[in-house]
Amino acid sequence: MENQLNYSTSTQMVPQKKQKRENILFSQKLAPYIFVSPFLISFFVFFLYPSIQTIVMSFQEVLPGETKFIGLQNYKNLLNPHFFAALRNTTVYTIWTLIILIPFPLILAVILNSKVIPGRNLFRSSFFIPALTSTIVAGVIFRLIFGELESAPANTLMRALGLDAQQWTMHWGTGMFLMVFLASWKWLGVNILYFLSGLQNIPKELYESAEMDGAGVFTKFFKITLPLLKPVTVYVLTISIFGGFRMYEESFVFWQNQSPGDIGLTLVGYIYQEGFVNNDMGFGSAIGIVLLVIVLILNLIQLKFTGAFRKE
């Protein structure tokens, strides 16, 4: 195939192009800069400039037509129950997704990686399909399943188990459960695939020689599988933390920015509410900066514990 390509391009191009002027298109020095220019433009316009503006606005009162420097007032205003509810919800949500979306996919991947299980591809695909739905559509379904009525599927199940029917979206604990369950349902299959690809990189001989030394299933899991999956685990951890702190839609589908007692308020939801609903961009920016600092600190911790961010 390579030869073919070479051949076809050379026959077409040689006669006319060879003597032509040395223009920009042929410069190996300039070409890379032209290639990366879309990123640089986008970086400055849609990343760096807004970043700086977020910082600036967080010290301002932004009104239509005029802005006023108000020092740290926006940050002082952060000390309110809504902000703490948002911070708490986002943090608890992230921790729960980590607790569920790392160990379970890992174990399921180990099971699916074992050749004795029939229908492995079918299971793999079934677990993956939820990742294809948008969170909004998934939320539509979850609202039906976890409806308030006693006859809704989840409550039917609760009563079959001898438990009380729940008003799922009315309490902090059950509300958190809905969001975590929705996220777990959606991302389980994706994380399984990450771990499966990690497992496939572990040389079989390691297991064979361990078996010869008389190692059992658990010894092999803890001494070989787990340590060698560390890079994948770190990666999954990173994207899960990232996904957790930017969470918004999982809350939106259940409460649309209006949850009783802020049980569904997240940091991103709070930015949206203050910035767009209450039109207080300065205050919204201050929330954004706090979120930014949290994400940066978590990233730095990550870098520190795992070495540089993925050297190729």
Distance CA 39, CA 18 (A): 31
Taking the least distance from each CB to other proteins, the nearer of 25 and 163 is 25
Taking the least distance from each CB to other proteins, the nearer of 109 and 176 is 109
Taking the least distance from each CB to other proteins, the nearer of 72 and 137 is 137
Taking the least distance from each CB to other proteins, the nearer of 26 and 69 is 26
Report in angstroms how near the CB of residue 7 gets to other proteins at its nearest. Answer: 10
Report in angstroms how near the CB of residue 159 gets to other proteins at its nearest. Answer: 12
Report in angstroms how near the CB of residue 237 gets to other proteins at its nearest. Answer: 12
Report in angstroms how near the CB of residue 173 gets to other proteins at its nearest. Answer: 20
Residue of 26, 49, 22 lying closest to 34 (CA atoms): 26
Report in angstroms how near the CB of residue 229 gets to other proteins at its nearest. Answer: 11
Q: Which residues contact 283 (CB under 8 A, 6 or more apart)?
A: 74, 77, 274, 275
Taking the least distance from each CB to other proteins, the nearer of 177 and 242 is 242
Taking the least distance from each CB to other proteins, the nearer of 85 and 253 is 253
Report in angstroms how near the CB of residue 76 gets to other proteins at its nearest. Answer: 19
Taking the least distance from each CB to other proteins, the nearer of 85 and 112 is 112
Report in angstroms how near the CB of residue 211 gets to other proteins at its nearest. Answer: 6
